[in-house]
Structures are given as structure tokens and as C-alpha cells.
Amino acid sequence: MEDFIKRFEAGTLTKEEWTHEAHLRMAYWYVWSYPPIEAGVRIRVGIRHLNECMGGANTEDAGFHETLTEFWIREVRAMGPERMDEVLALPAGLWKRDYGWNVAKDRRARREYVAPQVGYR
């Protein structure tokens, strides 16, 4: 895990390595290694940095997504620190449980946190 996190922070992970599971592994490590605010900052800065290192851009249509990042941070935190295997098995589309529209494509949700729809579940 330490090597993975070092490579994430250095921006040396490849696009092939930056899978959904890798996102969850990274989030799990930060959520349970740092206080909540610091973990969130490190995750957000790290994702933006990695995107740029892989040749991508963080724009209103691509790259870092605030709402999905916060969604996954909250999911990881809610599961608790002893459940890494279960965290890594969470399906990529889990956010659809809480959002009745394609939040992944929503420009506003990409730049700022949009709370789940009340009563959507």
C-alpha cells in the first residue's frame, strides 16, 4: 500500500493502474490515515495532480469530480476502518443509488459538491 500511495502522490501511476479499485484503495488509505479535513484535501489535490501527470486536464467536462469524490469519501468512512476488502468491492455505479440523474456528467457536480437527492433511495 505504501508504494501505491507514494506513486499516487508522485503522479507516476499509469492510466491502466488508475482503476475504480485504485481510487477506492487510495481513498481508504487517506480516510483512515488522516483526520477528515486533511484526508479530503490530500485526496482532492492528489487526484488533480495525478490527472495532470497522466496528460489529462481537470475541466468542467473531464478529470476531477467534486461530487463523486465526496460521495466515495463518505462511503469509505461509513464502512469503517476494518473493512478494506468490502470497500474495494464496492461497484463503480453505486452513486446511482443516491442520484436520479447522471451526476457523473453534470458540470455543476464536477466543480462543487451536490448533495444526494432526499428520498431518492
Residue 62, in any domain of the structure: yes
pTM of the model: 0.94
DSSP 54: T
Residue 118 has pLDDT above 70, yes or no: no
Average pLDDT over residues 96-117: 94
Report pLDDT digits (tens) over 2-41: 999 999 999 999 999 999 999 999 999 999 999 999 999 9
Q: In which residue are the cell numbers 457523473 written? A: 104
Of 54-58, 98-102, 106-110, the least confident = 98-102
Q: Which three cell numbers stand for residue 110?
A: 464536477
Residue 121, in any domain of the structure: no
When pLDDT is cut at 50, 70 and 90, the band that residue 100 belongs to is confident
Residue 57, in any domain of the structure: yes
Residue 7, in any domain of the structure: yes
DSSP 34: S
Residue 116, in any domain of the structure: no
Range of the domain at 61: 2-111
When pLDDT is cut at 50, 70 and 90, the band that residue 119 belongs to is low
Report pLDDT digits (tens) over 38-63: 999 999 999 999 999 999 999 999 99
Torsion angle (degrees, nearest 10) of CA 108, 112, 115, 117: 0
Phi (first) and psi of residue 10, to 5 degrees:
-80, -10
Count the domains in the chain.
1
When pLDDT is cut at 50, 70 and 90, the band that residue 120 belongs to is low
The pLDDT score that the predictor gives to residue 117 is 82
Torsion angle (degrees, nearest 10) of CA 104, 105, 106, 108: 80
Residue 77, in any domain of the structure: yes
Q: In which element (H, E) is residue 44 found?
A: helix 36-53
